[in-house]
Structure 1
Amino acid sequence: MTMLSDLGPPTPGKLHGGDIPEKQHFYQCPYCGQKVDQRDLRQVYYHEGPRHEPLELEDGATIIIFPRLQE
C-alpha cells in the first residue's frame, strides 16, 4: 500500500476566490472512495491515476520526550 509520505514532501495548493468551509476542501475519490484533501496536491495527483488503492495516511505530529533536568 502506498503511504502518503512515499509521495514526497507536502505540496500545498492555493485557494482562489476566498475562504470556504473546512468540509469543502475534501472530495471523495470516484475510484477508491477515499476522501482527498485538495489543499495537498500530492493527494490530488495520486487520485487522478487509474487503478490506485487508497493512500495509507500517517500522523503528522511527532512527540519528542526530553529527559527531566536535575535541579
Structure 2
Amino acid sequence: MTKLSDLGPPKPGHLHGRDPVREEDIFYTCKICGQKVDMRDLRQVMWHEQPDHEPLEPSAANGA
C-alpha cells in the first residue's frame, strides 16, 4: 500500500471562493476507493484522480 509520505512533501492547496464554514467542507469521499480526501493537500487530490488506485495509507505525523 502506498503511504501518503511516499508522494513527497505536502503540496498545500486552497479552496477558491470562500473559506469552508465547517471542517467537513474540506473533505470529500473518493468515488473509486471510498477514502476521505483532504482538498487542502494536492498530493491526496491528484492520487485520487487516478482511475485505478488504492486507498492511501496515512502517515504518522499530521498527514506528512
TM range (shorter): 0.7 to 0.9
1:10 aligns to 2:7 (yes or no)? no
TM-score by length of 1: 0.79
DSSP-derived class of the 1:27 partner: strand
1:39 aligns with 40
Deviations along 1:21-67, one digit per CA (max 9) or x if unpaired, are 11010000000000000000000000000111100001216xxxxxx
Higher radius of gyration, 1 or 2: 1
User: Would you say the 8 A contact 2:14–2:39 is kept in 1?
Assistant: no
Q: Give the TM-score normalised by the residue count of structure 2.
A: 0.87
Partner SS, residue 5 of structure 2: helix
AA aligned opposite 2:25: Q
Task: Point out where structure 1 has 5 or more consecutive residues left out of the alignment.
Answer: 62-71
Q: How many residues align?
A: 61
* Distance apart, 1:16 and its partner CA: 2.1
Runs of 5+ in structure 2 lacking a partner?
Answer: none
- Kindly indicate whether structure 1 or structure 2 has the higher relative contact order, using CA contacts under 8 Å at least 6 residues apart: 2
Give 1:49's aligned amino acid: Q
For residues 46 and 25 of structure 2, what CA distance do their matches in structure 1 show? 18
Q: Aligned residues: percent identity?
A: 64
In the TM superposition, residue 15 of structure 1 has moved relative to its aligned partner by 2.3
